[in-house]
Amino acid sequence: MASADVVRESALAGRVVLFEESARDGAQAKTLMGAGFRVRLAREQGAIFGADGPRHVVFAAGFPSVCAQEYEATRHVALEAQGSVSPAAICRGTVSDVRLALSSVRGAAHARVMVIVAASEATAQALVHTDAREALAGGLDVVKAAVDLADGVAVDVCLVDAPRADHALVGEYAGSMTAQGAGTIVLADTVGDLLPGQTRALFQRVAAAAGPEAVLVSHLHNDLGLGLANTLAALESGARVAACSWLGMAERSGMVATEQLLFLLAHDPAKAAQVLGPDCAPWWTTPDLTRLPGIARMVSAETGVPLTVTTPVVGTGVATISTGTPFTHPRTFQPYDPEQHLGLAPSVVLTHLASQRVLRAVAERLGHQLTPAQTRTALAWVKDRAYRQGRAVVADADFAAYLDGLTADATAPAPTPAS
């Protein structure tokens, strides 16, 4: 007997599910996560939701047909992270690929496979050398076979290039695939050139044609910088499962970043209601957002994808203050409290924009109490130092060394007059 599809159940109950793609689509961003790291990441991401990790996270563990090592990495995640997430293997739309994918996750709790099917005329010609209707019909046959072979593994379908396809045709086959036992239907934009209004229209039209039993998933790329906006548009249109990737890693310019999407939907119920509707209840367990910065740093260290000062939610600029007015009135100049939501205590950074208050705060942190005259002298030194080095931030070590000399000069005894 087939096991319960907790992802489908969550989506139909109005809960939000993340379809995590950093290990799989992230590989197309020229990164490679080893098997052990994939397990670690899956466990950490599931822990954001506690025991409800499998109901809130599908973890795309890998594409087993790539090579033996990729198969083993996928299998590793399925067996070792199964209690934390719903592990998934991705495969092409052939029965042989389906068999391989199923074998890579079989035996794991809440395991899934995702079958890739061409939906547009262009991708049908490129992938299977036929027209879109034939490609979708062939995909339906593969889905039937996959469900028959699944033995408790949930079967998802990814309809490639759905925006440029005939939306009514996509909806028709989404409904037929659902009726044959598919758990979710992923609408992939493939080339990342949608605008939010187009995304709303896509999900509304496909949902109307597919019927109420179809669970649609957004998979939206960021080539025009609209991955997050388009994902929110899909959620506004009724989707409850959204593909995402840590640090936005995915093919070309990536896709919506996991940490940004999750934070936006979880840190402020009013914002979630604007996206999901006034009566939304998106979580079985409220996510622990304080885990986000640590996971992001972990992923950055593993992949080499940098966290910059302007990276939203998890970047190096979050919770930092360098100018006077935000220092004295921080709540007035930030959209959320980083300490409350992310567990990040505020830190004061010394730059050429520093005020006397900012400078004294940094000096006190370094163990120095400055007089007003010393403060003015030190402030002039900081601004000169920043411009001389051509970098805004003056390092604590450099400032501390300067302060040691400044305060030592002030406290040194006067020389004894010669007799």
Rounded mean pLDDT, 268-289: 97
Confidence grade of residue 229 (pLDDT, cut at 50, 70, 90): very high
**Model confidence at 331: pLDDT above 90:** no
pLDDT at 308 (0 to 100)? 94
pLDDT at 327 (0 to 100)? 73
Rounded mean pLDDT, 31-49: 97
DSSP 242: E
**Model confidence at 175: pLDDT above 80:** yes
The label of the residue with tokens 């990276």 reads 311
Confidence grade of residue 418 (pLDDT, cut at 50, 70, 90): low
pLDDT at 412 (0 to 100)? 54
Burial pattern 141-177, b for ≥16 Cβ within 10 A else e, equals ebbbbbbebbebbbbbbbbbbbbbbbbebbbbbbbbb
pLDDT at 321 (0 to 100)? 82
What average pLDDT is seen over the chain? 94
**Model confidence at 185: pLDDT above 60:** yes
**Model confidence at 414: pLDDT above 70:** no
Residue 65's closest CA among 87, 90, 88?
90
**Model confidence at 379: pLDDT above 60:** yes
Residue 3 CB coordination number (10 Å): 13
What is the pTM assigned to this prediction? Answer: 0.92
Confidence grade of residue 1 (pLDDT, cut at 50, 70, 90): very low
Rounded mean pLDDT, 105-113: 97
- Phi and psi at residue 384, to the nearest 5°: -65, -40
What lies within 8 Å, CB to CB, of 13 at 6+ separation is: none
pLDDT at 396 (0 to 100)? 95
**Model confidence at 329: pLDDT above 80:** no
Indicate the range of 11-15, 187-191, 263-267, 317-321 predicted with least confidence. 317-321
Determine what percent of the chain is predicted with pLDDT higher than 70: 97
Tell me the residue length of the chain. Answer: 419
Distance CA 131, CA 288 (A): 46
Residue 179 CB coordination number (10 Å): 14
Q: Which domains does the chain possess? A: 6-303 (3.20.20.70), 319-410 (1.10.238)
Distance CA 316, CA 150 (A): 45
Confidence grade of residue 415 (pLDDT, cut at 50, 70, 90): low
Distance CA 101, CA 123 (A): 22
Rounded mean pLDDT, 172-201: 97
pLDDT tens digits along 150-168: 999 999 999 999 999 999 9
Indicate the range of 55-69, 133-147, 316-330, 377-391 predicted with least confidence. 316-330
Tokens of 10: 């969550």
pLDDT at 206 (0 to 100)? 98
Rounded mean pLDDT, 188-213: 96
pLDDT at 334 (0 to 100)? 82
The label of the residue with tokens 């034939």 reads 134
